[in-house]
Structures are given as C-alpha cells and as structure tokens.
Amino acid sequence: MSPLDTSARTDFQADQPRSPKPHSSALPRYLALAYSVLIIYASLHPFSGWRDPGLPLLVFLDSGWPRYWTGFDLAVNIIVYVPLGFLLALSLRRLPWRWLQLLSCPTSVKPMAEVPSPASLPTDPHVLRYLEHVRVEKRLAARTLTLYTLDLEKLAQFAAGVNLPLLQLTSAHIRRFVAQMHSGGRSGRGIALILSGWRGFYTWAGRQGLVAHNPVQDVRAPKAPKPLPKALGVDDAVRLADYENTGADPWLEARDAAMVELLYGCGLRVGELVGLDAVASPHAEREGRGWVDLQAGEAHVFGKGSKRRSVPVGRAAVQALQAWLALRAQPFGGAAARLEGALFVGQRGKRLTAQSVWLRLRQRSQLAGLTTPVHPHMLRHSFASHVLQSSSDLRAVQELLGHANITTTQVYTRLDFQHLAKVYDAAHPRARKKP
C-alpha cells in the first residue's frame, strides 16, 4: 500500500461525488437492549437452587483470589455474554460516528465515496484488469485502490506524452518521468510512492506474460538530502556553559553545570554521560561503565559497541566536576556509601537517566536565553564542529567522538564549510560589494 501523497491527490478527492449513506437497520440495537435487560433480570433473580453465602455484597472486591468463582460460573458467563457482544458489535457498526465504526469493525467496507467513480477510472484494459485484480484477489481497501488508480492515471498521462502504450514503456522512459516529477517540485518521498504503485502494475503484467521485464524495477526515486546536524554557534555554546542560575538549589546547579561542561567539553553521548561512575572500579569496567580521572584530566567512556575510549577533560570541566563532587553526597548526610557509584545522581541517590538529562538541559538552555531548546546531542555536534573549525584535524575529531568510520565524522566538514562561507561573506570586500 502506498501512503497518501496529499500534494497530488487533494483535487481528485474534491471531485468525487458523495454517495448517500445506505439505510441501516435498528434491529441489532433493539435486540442488544432486550438482551441486556434479560441479563440484568437474571442477575437480580438467579436460578433456583442458588444459596446466599451470607457475605456482604461487595466483599469480593478486596478478597483474595479466587474471588468466589467456579468453573460453572465461568462457562455460564462466556456462553451468556458472547451473543451480547455480537449484538453490540452489530449495533456499533450501524452508528454514524466513524470512530465507532472503526472500533467495532476495522475491516469493514469503506463508504462508496472513497471508491473511484467510473468516469475517473483509466481506459486502458490492462490497467482495469490490474485494478480488478488488486480489489478482488488482494482484497485491498477502497482507499488503497484509489491511490493505485491515481498512480496509474499519472503513468498513462506520461505515456500519452511519448505516444506509447503502457506496456511498451522502458526504464529510460520511467527515468524521464521521474526527472520531470522531480523538476516539477515533487519530493523524493512522493516519487518513491508513485514508483511503488507503478512497480506493482508491471509486476502483475510480467506474471500475465504481457511484458518481458519490469521497467520500474531498477528505477529509484531521488534521495532526499540528509539534514545537517544541529549545532550551536560558538557564542551560544559558551553562553550555555557559562550560565549560572544563582536562584537554584546549589546541589542541582553544580550537577547541571558539570553535565553541560562534560557534554560540550568532551563531546560525550548522553548514554556515555549517565554511564560514568564517580571512581574507577573493576565492577564498573565489567558492567561497561566509564569513569572520570580528574588528576589525569581524562574521561574513560564506553561508547557504541562497548568500545572504550579516553577523551581529555578541559580545565573548565575539571573545575565544574570538582565543585559537583564536593556537594554530591550532601543531601544524603555526607555518606557516599548511601549513593550509587554513578557520577551523576538524582535527588534520591539513584543514577540519573538519559531522559532526565534531556529535560534538565532543555530547561537550562531556556533559562540561559537561548532561542533554540538544546538537547545533549546538539552539544556533541557543537563540540565536533567547533573543534574542527579551530584545528581542521578530521582524524582527531573522529577519535574524540569515537566514530568507527571517518565518513560519519565528515558530515561536520559541511558545517565547517558553512562557517567559512559566512566568514567570507562577512569579511571579503568582493563578497560585501552589492551588485
């Protein structure tokens, strides 16, 4: 099934006539109501032979299991309530609200308004056979059938432009059609959906012996350009790192400041950050957790694939960590033994989660006056971009980030080029000259 490409199919939907809703019978509703009344009556007036156990009416709510049921009770309830459920499903199916229709019977037939009208159907007999095939044999929904029809209509228009029937089109024609759609502004995703519909038609035609090969098989839609990683400017990153919330809890302020310094100063992933321990230990290394060596000015982290790497910790980060470690055990009576071994803990002494770091960083960036909410990976991108701008050493940035392949690191060269382009536009006399 091809998802809806709204840019091309809105007009088609608007032209479709609305069919009157079929008359629905109210009999299932009345039967369900009568059956419910019967069940209520039987519940209030049970069959003969039943005895009052002498227990309060609602005692079963707080009693232990089993709650006074037997195998006979279970069987009777199943037998009694199955017809009621069947009647309720029929009743809900007849209601006019669409969400109740979907709830009661998701596989029901869609309204006739979604089915293509005869005037909009393609005239090619092979296309009509294919649409009948997917409707009857594949039992596709009416909405999916409409989308397939639109895709094949577009293909028929392209084929008419080159004066060829559909079954004589080649891969070169399909590529030409793709180029025309792309130059017309259609997105790569939209083109991929259309190609999927065409590919299904020619696959069926090949099975029928109508074509020797599928002309759409090796044709791919244009790839959408990969978005550049979001990184802060140098001024914004420094502003966030230097920010100090004097009105906040000193314990929380010291912790959050240390987290920002490690994320931006070392380029850590958020998982690597929360996986750090306060001190090194054989147990931590076996569990795949890292630690910070303040004396050596290094952070030993375990990244993706349990690969260990060491990154330098700058002077500002060391100072922030020292301030945090001095207050870390304070809310717990100064007893570090009551804490987990984690470097960053919450107010209950447990290791901080990645989600908590996300929330705290978002709040801190807003308090610092940044226009864009900051997340941990944005600081990692900022670290890589700023180091690359200053050093131009791609291999060093690769080692600091822990990338297994340098092609992953090369994306930051695009950010560096953008920075150089902005510097050129701002500084070069010929760039500043107005036409």
* Residue 412 bears catalytic tag: yes
Going by C-alpha positions, the residue among 138, 140, 147 that lies closest to residue 116 is 147
* Residue 45 bears catalytic tag: no
DSSP-derived 3-state class of residue 302: strand
* Residue 175 bears catalytic tag: no
Per annotation, catalytic residue among 173, 364, 375, 380 = 380
User: For the purposes of burial, counting CB atoms within 10 Å of the CB of 195, is it exposed (0-12), middle (13-18) or buried (19 or more)?
Assistant: buried
* Residue 269 bears catalytic tag: yes
Query: Cβ distance 379 to 373 under 8 Å?
Result: no
Q: What is the CA radius of gyration of the chain?
A: 34
- φ/ψ (deg, to 5) at 196: -60, -40
* Residue 21 bears catalytic tag: no
Per annotation, catalytic residue among 130, 148, 264, 412 = 412
Going by C-alpha positions, the residue among 275, 242, 284 that lies closest to residue 368 is 242
Q: SS3 for 67-116, per residue?
A: CCCCHHHHHHHHHHHHHHHHHHHHHHHHCCCHHHHHHHCCCCCCCHHHCC
Q: How far is CA 394 from CA 226, 327, 387, 397, 413, in A?
A: 20, 38, 9, 5, 8
Per annotation, catalytic residue among 126, 173, 186, 269 = 269
CB proximity list for 133: less than 8 A, separation 6 or greater: 204
Query: Cβ distance 198 to 174 under 8 Å?
Result: yes
Here the tokens at position 19 are 């069919």
Omega of the bond prior to 53 within 30 degrees of 0, cis?
A: no
Query: Cβ distance 301 to 309 under 8 Å?
Result: yes
State the Cα torsion 189-192-193-196 to the nearest 10°.
-160
DSSP-derived 3-state class of residue 231: coil
DSSP 6: H
DSSP 290: E
Q: Compute the distance between CA of residue 346 and CA of residue 348 in angstroms, rounded to an integer.
A: 5
Q: Compute the distance between CA of residue 415 and CA of residue 410 in angstroms, rounded to an integer.
A: 9
CB proximity list for 322: less than 8 A, separation 6 or greater: 294
- Give the chain's length: 435
Per annotation, catalytic residue among 138, 230, 304, 308 = 304
* Residue 220 bears catalytic tag: no
- Indicate which residues carry an active-site annotation: 269, 304, 377, 380, 403, 412
